[in-house]
Amino acid sequence: MFEIEANNRTIKAEKGDTILAALKRAGINVPTLCHMEGLPPSGACRICVVEVEGKGLIPSCSFPASEGMKIKTNSPKCIQARKTIIELLLANHPDDCLYCVRNLNCQLQTLAEEYGIRERRLTAKREEHTVDLTSPAIVRDQSKCILCGKCVRVCEEIQNVSAIDFAGRGSKTVISTAFDENLNVSSCINCGQCILVCPTGALREKSYIKEVRAALSDPEKHVVIQHAPAISVTIAEEFGAPSGTDADGMLVTALKRMGFDRVFDTSFSADLTIMEEASELVHRITNGGKLPMMTSCSPGWIKYVEQFYPEMREHLSTCKSPQQMLGAVIKSYYAKRNGIKPENIFSVSVMPCTAKKFEIQRPGMGRNNIFDVDAVLSTRELARLVRMYGIEFNNLPVSYADNPFGERTTAGKLFGASGGVMEAAVRTAHFLITGKEMDDLKLEATRGLDGIKEAKLDIGGKTVGIAVVNGVGNAAKLLDQIKDGRDDLVFIEVMTCPGGCVAGGGQPLGTDNAKIRARLGALYAIDENEEVRVSHGNTEIKRLYDEFLGEPLGHESHRLLHTSYVDRDEVLK
């Protein structure tokens, strides 16, 4: 440690610190637009300039701190430099803030307010760009792009997808797909991590709010909604609550007040997924099936395998995701039980994941030209809908999801966390193999934010190697090892987004690890404090099998709850 002076204060810095890192640790705020925690600095935006005695203005994100430095973060030169940069960015930026999805939640707009930009002093020719609406999940509006590069970096350096990159030179620079194709035919996996880091409205999710409102207003439609395990521990953030607040009861009340005929919990079908997936794992182990088996709950991950590792498709579990399983039983079992025609049911889901908007359109996700799920709302869209309906979210009483798909176990709730699917599956697989519950249901080895977590488990005297991965960029490392001959793993969980569903592309904006850990902590607290912690203990799941599905991996469950995958290169040909 050594000392530097910042704004006439003595603060500590560590060897290897950038000026920005030292200032942040001391609680001194410096604005940034291009900086990404954990990645090497790019120094692209220059908003973070500070004045260093003897050196003048320098970008704090990329300049190393050194002993004895004297720094001013808000000197007249700093303020004027930042103000000029903001004015340059605004010179050819659209003036449609009132209509923009990021209005009041835009970093460029916030900086313009903070630095007192009150007139357009600089003007530039505005380039005409067509808004790319082709993707089922993500909308690109190049006219709002400020070329910070964060979307490019998260796509390439974190997710290992590289669907977008800089193209052109100088004032003609844009962010584009390969060959300037539309996003729907690019390598994009629809994960939405680019949306989370975009400081403006250049990237946003494709919205289903209009369709949902139309269905709610249609007396001919029976409108049902399901909410994913991660939603209850993130939605309250949109209304000012601390990260990790579990608002499950208020969430259900809000949905009922909007007019949904039934509110279901996707954690129920997470339990259903475990019954099928654990059974499939046991079947593969005992019958010489393709191992390691890999989870199939995350649609971005599925598309990643189909595009980049099509030879590994047989390793994927054939189970549909919890969203699609619940959609299938709603329009079959639930429809028949309540005498409703499937075509008269409008099925909505609230998901932490933008790739779920892509998933509902996949082949096999419906029957007789009727989709299992008709519309997907992100957490952000749901918050907008709550406000639109004039609901005071923070003052809502508690209510509960409707049966037959309202009962859940804490195992199902853990699906929102990286490692949660593995933890839930191991609990049930252990029971199916040994006939006994695990002595300790908590699987510490699968928890946390490490990119790859591995463990060896003893199940019925057999050693089972498992791995948990979050972020498909990390998954590529493990897939390459398996292709090279690694054979000590039996089961692998992969979640597309770093941190899992609690940090999905449809969640509240930002990638703050402290917030992600708080959300994970809330899910683990639920698991610790409730009684039924294994999916095979869900009585409504047992009833569903007794009355309708028969048994896991049976004919009816296979018809409704399982799917297949494609080689996307072959599809494009």
The overall average pLDDT reported for the chain is 96
**Count of residues for the chain?**
573
Q: Is 72 left (phi over 0), alpha (psi -120 to 50) or beta?
A: beta
Give the per-residue pLDDT at 535: 97
Strands 2-6 and 70-72, sheet pairing: parallel
Give the per-residue pLDDT at 570: 72
Helix segments in 144-199, DSSP class H: 150-153, 193-197
Radius of gyration of the chain (CA): 25
Model confidence pTM above 0.85: yes
Could you say which DSSP state residue 449 is in? S
Q: How many CB atoms lie within 10 A of CB 29?
A: 9
Give the per-residue pLDDT at 572: 59
Cα angle at 339 between 333 and 320, to 5 degrees? 20
For the ranges 226-240, 257-271, 500-514, 557-571, the lowest mean pLDDT is seen at 557-571
Average pLDDT over residues 519-533: 96
Average pLDDT over residues 457-465: 91
3-state secondary structure of 325: helix
pLDDT (tens digit per residue) in 109-143: 999 999 999 999 988 888 889 999 999 999 999 99
For the ranges 92-96, 238-242, 469-473, 568-572, the lowest mean pLDDT is seen at 568-572
Q: How many CB atoms lie within 10 A of CB 221?
A: 16
pLDDT (tens digit per residue) in 3-26: 999 999 999 999 999 999 999 999
Angle, helix 379-388 to helix 209-216, in steps of 10 degrees: 50
Q: Which helix (H) or strand (E) holds 570?
A: helix 568-572
Distance CA 40, CA 18 (A): 11
CA distances from residue 348 to 138, 264, 358, 507 in whole angstroms, order as listed: 18, 10, 14, 17
Name the residue type at position 440: D
Give the per-residue pLDDT at 133: 97
Give the per-residue pLDDT at 571: 64
pLDDT (tens digit per residue) in 212-266: 999 999 999 999 999 999 999 999 999 999 999 999 999 999 999 999 999 999 9
Q: How far is CA 504 from the centre of its chain?
A: 1
Give the per-residue pLDDT at 573: 56
pLDDT (tens digit per residue) in 358-399: 999 999 999 999 999 999 999 999 999 999 999 999 999 999
Strands 138-140 and 203-205, sheet pairing: antiparallel
Using the predicted structure, report yes or no on whether residue 434 has a pLDDT greater than 60. yes
pLDDT (tens digit per residue) in 294-317: 999 999 999 999 999 999 999 999
Distance CA 559, CA 536 (A): 21
In the chain, what are the domains?
2-89 (3.10.20.740), 127-205 (3.30.70.20), 210-561 (3.40.50.1780)
**Per-residue H/E/C for 268-335:** HHHHHHHHHHHHHHHHHHHHCCCCCEECCCCHHHHHHHHHHCHHHHHHECCECCHHHHHHHHHHHHHH
Average pLDDT over residues 340-353: 97
Taking the CA atoms of 189, 373, 524 and 419 in sequence, report the sign of the dihedral they define.
Answer: negative
Percent of the chain with pLDDT over 70: 99
Main-chain dihedrals φ then ψ at residue 275, nearest 5 degrees: -60, -40
Give the per-residue pLDDT at 442: 95
